[in-house]
Amino acid sequence: MKFLLALAAMVCCLLTGWAAEAVRMVGHLHLAGEGKTFPEGTKVSVFHEASKAHGEALVDAAGNFVVEGLAAGEKIRLTMPVDYEITAVSAPFAFDAKEIARNPMNPYVAGPASPEITVDLIWKDQQTKWAEMRRGIARMVSKGFFKAAKLSPEQQELFITVRLESEDRVMKEVRTHPGSPLRPGAFMADLCVALQKSFGDAMARQYREYQEDQLGWLFIQGSTALQANEWLTGEEQTRLVRAWGPILSTSMDRALDKKFETSSREEKLAFYDELLAAYTSSAQGILDEARLAKLQERLAEMRKQGVAELDKEKAGK
């Protein structure tokens, strides 16, 4: 019996070893620029997606490295050294340009294990990469407005510059006054003044209205209690968005204030009732009596959900 068990274990090991088909991957990092070499101690990080195991491979001055013990076809991810930016990578690996735009400080390539991989890199100091990352994020979050406003590529780049300068001014103000909240309204006000100077009144107004409309749509489409698509027409929703956007924009600053976080249940409920009353009041003239009554029913349901959240919050303290 012991012999049979030993034999079965040996066969199992043989099958496992055969199935793993270990691969020794040789990597080549090509650094742009004549005479450029990698400093001593440069490493590539290896992440095994199936086992979630991490490892490292040392890169020599010429950019060569070796990863041992990979399974053929295993999905792995290679993270490049922080100060380098990927420009190209050999098949079957690929790099996600969007992911690198979001996180250029820690770029990676991903793909199945193969005997060889070549990655082309350029060196960039962290300050440059940070500035590029900020512009990339600003471009991504402003994409919808660029399309709505039909901005030219040159106007888009100027808008991004103006936006980042505004962010810097607001953050400097926050740092100068420790403990003061970072209010969305403060950033909006500063940015609109800056847009007015760079583009004119029409652009500043268009941007404010666009942002308020985005808040309005998020509220209308995201509210489970409101269920707007079930009973409001598209035109009614659009008009309510335009009416509710400014209310939401103003209320956000108050809701995000640290003083509001520590206020009593009654104070929070009073704020909530004030907000719901503003929704109802601004809907007059948009909805007829029957639909206005239906809106009030839905807002009452929303209030119930809000009260339940406050009670839950109070019980958790």
Residues present in the chain in total? 317
Which residues of 52-113 form beta strands (DSSP E)?
54-58, 64-71, 75-79, 84-89, 108-112
d(CA 93, CA 84) in angstroms, rounded, equals: 18
What amino acid occupies position 35?
Answer: G
Grade residue 29 by pLDDT with cuts at 50, 70 and 90. Answer: very high
> Does the pLDDT of residue 2 top 80, yes or no?
no
Residues 215 and 291 in one domain: yes
Give the residue from 102, 119, 104 showing the smallest Cα distance to 57: 119
- Cβ neighbors of 265 (< 8 A, separation 6 or more) are 310, 311, 313, 314
Look up the CATH number of the domain holding residue 27.
2.60.40.1120
Q: Tell me: the pLDDT tens digits for 257-284? A: 767 777 888 888 888 899 899 999 999 9
Instruction: Look at the block and give the residue holding tokens 């760079």.
Output: 198
Decide if 156 is inside a domain: yes
Decide if 40 is inside a domain: yes
Grade residue 190 by pLDDT with cuts at 50, 70 and 90. Answer: very high
Q: Which of 124, 153, 173 is the last residue of a domain?
A: 124
SS3 at position 116: strand
Residues 263 and 120 in one domain: no
Burial class (CB in 10 A: 0-12, 13-18, 19+), 184: middle
Q: Which of 72, 93, 124 is the last residue of a domain?
A: 124
Decide if 15 is inside a domain: no
> pTM for the whole thing?
0.65
Residues 166 and 289 in one domain: yes
The token duo for 103 is 């996180």
Decide if 11 is inside a domain: no
Query: What's the number of domains the chain is made of?
Result: 2
Which residue range(s) make up the domain with 68?
23-124
> Does the pLDDT of residue 95 top 80, yes or no?
no
